[in-house]
Amino acid sequence: MARRWSRKSSSSKRTFLIIALFIIALMAFIYNSKMFERESPQVLIDESIYWNLKKPLNVKISDKSGLKRVLIQLSDGENSITLFNEKYGAGERELEFNITFPKKGFYSKKNEYTLSYEVVDHSFWNFFMGNKIIKETAIIVDKQDPLVYVVANSYKITKGGAGIVIFKAEDPNIDEVYVQTNFGKVFKAVPFEKEGYYMALVAWPREKKNLLSAEIIATDLAGNTAHEKIRYYLQDKNYKSSKITITDAFLNGSIASLARDIADDETQEMTPFEKFIFINNTLRRDSLKTIETITDGINYTKRLTLNPFYPLKNGAVVASYGDFRTYEYNKEKVSESYHLGLDLASTAGAEIFLSNRGKVLFAGENGIYGKMVVVDHGLGVYTLYGHCSSLLVQEGDEVAEGQIIAKTGRTGFAFGDHLHFGVVIQGIEVRPEEWMDEKWMKDNIFEVINNAKSLINSEKQQY
C-alpha cells in the first residue's frame, strides 16, 4: 500500500509541476506578447481649452496594438451629442480628428462644455476586452475679441529713435499683449499702473528704409485677436554717409593685427583682404546678433524714470550714431556697415560711469566690440559700452548710479582709445543722443507716462 501511495504521490507531483510550468509559461507568454499589451490608448488634447469656434479642435489618438473603437461626445451638462463613433480593424494605430462645433442637432447657449472620449484598443488584455481610456476636456467658448485702445503715446518717432505707448487691453481671458511692427519686430509690453494697462517702448531701426508702422496686438486664450494702430508722427532723418578706401598697407597692418587679436583661429589661412571681409561682415554680424539676443526683452520695474546718460566725463564725439560706411578696394565696393552707437573719447583708459542703476547682463569679449558691458535698466532700456581696456564688473552684478564699470580702450575693431556707447531698446540699437538729452526724455517718454497715469486714475476718463 505504501508503494502504491508513493507512486500516486510522485505522479501527482509531476502533474502539478507540469501544470505549474504550463501556467508560468502561459503567464510569461501573456506578459511578453504584443497581443496582450497593457498600455491604454493615448489621447492628445489639452484638459481645458478656450475655443472661439472659428478653428476646429485637433485631436490625436494612438495605440500600439491598434484602435478598436472611438467614441467622442459633447455635453453642456444637460444635453449631449455624439460627434464621433467608429469601429476599426487592428491596423489603425494612429488617428487624427478635427472637431467642429455641431451646427445641427445640438442647441445650447452655454459657454462651458465637456468633450469626452472613450477609446478601446485591440489588445487581448483585460479578459480580451482590451485597454480602455476615458478622458474629458473642459471647453470654454469665447467668441469676443479683446478690447484695445491707446491711452497715451509719444507724439513722434525719429528714424533711428524711440517712442512709448501706453494702452489698455481688456479681456477676461487675456493671453498676450505686444506691439507688432511692419519690419517684423515684436516689442513686448509690461503691466502699467492698474490691471489691464500696459506699456511698451517702440524703436524705429536706422537701417530700415521703409517708414515705421506699429500696432498693438492683444490675443486671448481662445485665439481672438484685436489690433489697434499707434499713430506716431514719423520724422525722417538724414544720416552721414562716408566712403572708405581700403589700402594694402591698412590690410597688412591694422587688419592683420586685429585679426590676430580677435579672430586668430578663424583667419589664419585667409588673405589680408579676406580677413577684412571676415571681420567687417561675418564677425560684425555675429557681434550684433549677440547684442540683440542679450537685449531682446523687457523687465518689469516700478521705477518709471531715468537720468540722462553721460558715461564719459568730458568725452568728445569722434563718430556719430547712424553713420553709413561704404568700403572700397581697388575702386570697387566690397563691404558696408552701419555705425549704431556713439563714439566718445577723452584720455586713454578713461573711467566709464553709470548714469542709472541696473543689472549687468554681459561683461566679456564680443567680436568687433572687444571688451564689452551691457546693462539692463528696466523698461526695455539697455546700455552698451564697447572697446573697453578693462572691465570692473561681472555678469549678474547689480550696479549703482555713479559706479565705474569699465575703462576706455581700443579692443575689438577699434584703432584708437575710445568708448563705443550704445542704447538698445529690446534688441534694437537706437540714437544715444535722445537718451542723453533730458528735455527729449521728459517730452517724449516720461511726460507721456505721467499723463497716462493721470488719465488712468481720473474718475472722468472716457474712451
Categorize the per-residue pLDDT at 20 as very low, low, confident or very high, splitting at 50, 70 and 90: low
Largest CA distance in the chain: 122
Cell of 457: 486714475
Alpha-carbon distance 144 to 224, whole Å?
7
Domain definitions of the chain by residue range: 36-141, 147-236, 241-432
Return the C-alpha torsion angle 61, 63, 68, 74, nearest 10: -20
Rounded alpha-carbon distances, angstroms, from residue 340 to 173, 183, 323, 408: 40, 18, 8, 18
DSSP class of 255: I
Provide the 3-class DSSP secondary structure of residue 288: helix
Render pLDDT for 281-309 as a digit per residue (tens, 0 to 9).
999 999 999 999 999 988 877 778 899 99
Categorize the per-residue pLDDT at 30 as very low, low, confident or very high, splitting at 50, 70 and 90: very low
Q: Tell me, what's the pLDDT at 121?
A: 87
Terminal Cα distance for the chain, rounded: 110
The amino acid sitting at 2 is A
Alpha-carbon distance 169 to 216, whole Å?
9
Alpha-carbon distance 188 to 185, whole Å?
10
Could you tell me which of 136, 72, 147, 78 has the C-alpha nearest to residue 109? Answer: 78
CB atoms within 10 A of CB 31: 9
Alpha-carbon distance 184 to 315, whole Å?
36
Render pLDDT for 40-74 as a digit per residue (tens, 0 to 9).
888 888 899 999 999 999 999 988 888 889 999 99
Q: Tell me, what's the pLDDT at 268?
A: 86
CB atoms within 10 A of CB 289: 12
Could you tell me which of 373, 215, 190, 195 has the C-alpha nearest to residue 298? Answer: 190
Cell of 202: 517702440
Render pLDDT for 75-105 as a digit per residue (tens, 0 to 9).
999 999 999 899 888 778 888 989 899 888 8
Q: Tell me, what's the pLDDT at 9?
A: 66
Q: Tell me, what's the pLDDT at 109?
A: 83
Could you tell me which of 338, 287, 341, 340 has the C-alpha nearest to residue 309? Answer: 341
Q: Is 5 a residue whose pLDDT tops 50?
A: no
Q: Give, in words, the CATH class of 36-141.
A: mainly beta
Q: What is the CA radius of gyration of the chain?
A: 34
Decide if 36-141 and 147-236 have a common fold.
yes
Cβ–Cβ < 8 Å for 370, 262: yes
Q: Given 2.60.40.10, 3.40.50.1580, 3.40.50.300, 3.90.1170.50, which CATH number is that of 147-236?
A: 2.60.40.10
DSSP letter string, 137-175:
EEEEE--PPPEEEEEEE-SEEETT-EEEEEEEEE-TTEE
Helix (H) or strand (E) holding 228: strand 225-229
Residues ≥6 apart with Cβ < 8 Å to 254: 415
CB atoms within 10 A of CB 441: 18
Q: Could you tell me which CATH number the domain at 241-432 has?
A: 2.70.70.10
Alpha-carbon distance 398 to 360, whole Å?
6
List the beta strands (DSSP E) in 313-451: 316-319, 324-329, 332-338, 342-345, 351-353, 358-365, 371-376, 381-388, 390-391, 398-399, 404-407, 419-425, 428-430
Which residue bears the cell 493721470?
454
Q: Is 273 a residue whose pLDDT tops 50?
A: yes
Q: From the DSSP assignment, how many helices (H) and strands (E) are in the chain?
A: 9, 32
Cβ–Cβ < 8 Å for 124, 29: no
Rounded alpha-carbon distances, angstroms, from residue 53 to 71, 139, 141, 193, 222: 21, 11, 7, 34, 9
Alpha-carbon distance 146 to 327, whole Å?
50
Angle, vertex CA 202, rays to CA 196 and CA 208, nearest 5: 150
Q: Tell me, what's the pLDDT at 460?
A: 55
Render pLDDT for 136-192 as a digit per residue (tens, 0 to 9).
999 999 999 999 999 999 999 999 999 999 999 999 999 999 999 999 999 999 999
